[in-house]
């Protein structure tokens, strides 16, 4: 170590670092800014064109998701490249979704061998190399592609299969837009929007059913979708839960549901203390593949800090064919 600068490629156990990498202690100051570390006492900061990488043993042909904590420091357009060859994704981190300044991000890939090299890289070019993003906890989890069941045509309708959530970070995991990710960390679903959606757990939030759900935190720029198999001319019933996550997201929330050409707006008056209601949309399939999509009509801020984006929770999505009335 030379001050906070890491000297030597192998100085951080388990990792190989390239370029200007700093080892940051929680509570360290940068000018007037206090640097906080969410997990443990230390994090790393990646300067211009710097990276950290680690080789990981995996099962060939399987899907995996990476979850990591990141925070921007002083650069406005900070982003991170995450690579497991041949897959690569860009994570824009300029939008901060939590009041702590830290967010957890998920990214997924499919393996082509029994060992992969995970690389987290800062592509930024700032005058001050200390303006790079901070990286903290990193985890990997195997993903098992869900299948439709007799009682539900939707796959992973309860969102129970998804990325790893750190037990000590109570701000969920951001799932990036599909344009940034070839493989979804939320199996069977894609994020069809410019902003991320938040994957939440029942340990830290109110979840309508099971242990996991999705919070639509970016208004109409935050949408999830799935394409399902349908039979032309048949009538279907799409049912789902709309609620709030008990995170002070109070006010008039509205979820818009789309099933092919059919639409439904579901208003939900949130007190920000947890709760939900069921809604249903009946439609006749006009194609053998129907796109199911959910988005939030409004942008909403948490009432306890007025700085964190929040939104309605969607959970327990079910699709069944019904007899024509």
pLDDT of residue 180: 60
pLDDT at 232: 96
**Residue 324: band (very low, low, confident or very high) from pLDDT cuts 50, 70, 90:** low
CA distance 193 to 250: 23
The full DSSP string for 94-152 is -S--STTS-EEEEEEEE-SSSEEEEEEE-----SSGGGSPEEEEEEEEEE-----BTTB
**Model pTM score:** 0.94
- 132 vs 117: CA distance, rounded Å: 22
Tens-digit pLDDT profile for residues 205-263? 999 999 999 999 999 998 999 999 999 999 999 999 999 999 999 999 999 999 999 99
Q: What is the mean pLDDT of residues 12-18?
A: 96
Structure-model confidence comparison of residues 283 and 102, the more confident one: 283
Contact partners, residue 30, CB within 8 Å, separation at least 6: 73, 74, 130
Domains and CATH numbers, the chain: 16-143 (2.60.120.260), 173-322 (2.60.120.260)
- pLDDT above 70 as % of the chain: 97
* Mean pLDDT within 10-23: 94
In angstroms, the CA 70 to CA 83 distance is 16
What rounded mean pLDDT belongs to the chain? 91
Please list the helix, strand and coil fractions of the chain in percent, rounded to the nearest 5, in that order: 5, 50, 50
Alpha-carbon distance of 301 to 97, in angstroms, equals: 10
For residue 13, give every residue at least 6 positions away whose Cβ sits within 8 Å of its Cβ, in sequence order, or none: none
């Amino acid at each position: 170590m030379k001050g906070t600068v890491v000297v030597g490629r192998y100085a951080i156990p388990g990792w190989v670092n390239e370029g200007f990498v700093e080892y940051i202690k929680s509570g360290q100051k940068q000018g007037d800014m206090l640097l906080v570390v969410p997990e443990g006492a230390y994090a790393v900061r990646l300067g211009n064109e710097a990276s950290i990488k680690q080789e990981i043993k995996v099962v060939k042909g399987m899907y995996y998701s990476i979850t990591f904590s990141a925070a921007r420091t002083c650069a406005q357009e900070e982003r991170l490249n995450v690579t497991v060859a041949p897959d690569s994704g860009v994570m824009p981190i300029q939008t901060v979704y939590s009041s702590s300044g830290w967010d957890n991000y998920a990214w997924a890939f499919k393996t082509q061998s029994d060992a992969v090299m995970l690389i987290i890289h800062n592509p930024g070019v700032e005058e001050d190399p200390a303006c790079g993003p901070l990286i903290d906890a990193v985890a990997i989890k195997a993903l098992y592609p869900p299948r439709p069941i007799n009682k539900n045509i939707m796959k992973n309708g309860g969102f129970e299969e998804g990325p790893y959530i750190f037990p000590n970070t109570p701000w969920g995991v951001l799932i990036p837009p599909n344009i940034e990710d070839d493989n979804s960390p939320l199996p069977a679903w894609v994020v069809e929007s410019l902003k991320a959606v938040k994957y939440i757990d029942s340990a830290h939030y109110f979840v309508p059913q099971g242990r996991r759900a999705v919070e639509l935190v970016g208004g109409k720029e935050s949408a999830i979708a799935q394409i399902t198999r349908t039979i032309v001319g048949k009538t279907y019933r799409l049912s789902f839960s709309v609620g709030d996550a008990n995170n002070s997201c109070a006010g008039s929330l509205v979820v818009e549901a789309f099933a092919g050409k059919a639409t439904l707006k579901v208003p939900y008056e949130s007190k920000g203390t947890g709760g939900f209601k069921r809604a249903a949309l009946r439609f006749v399939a006009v194609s053998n593949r129907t796109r199911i999509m959910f988005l939030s009509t409004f942008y909403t801020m948490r009432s306890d800090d007025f700085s964190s984006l929040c939104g309605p929770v969607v959970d327990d999505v079910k699709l069944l064919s019904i007899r024509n009335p």
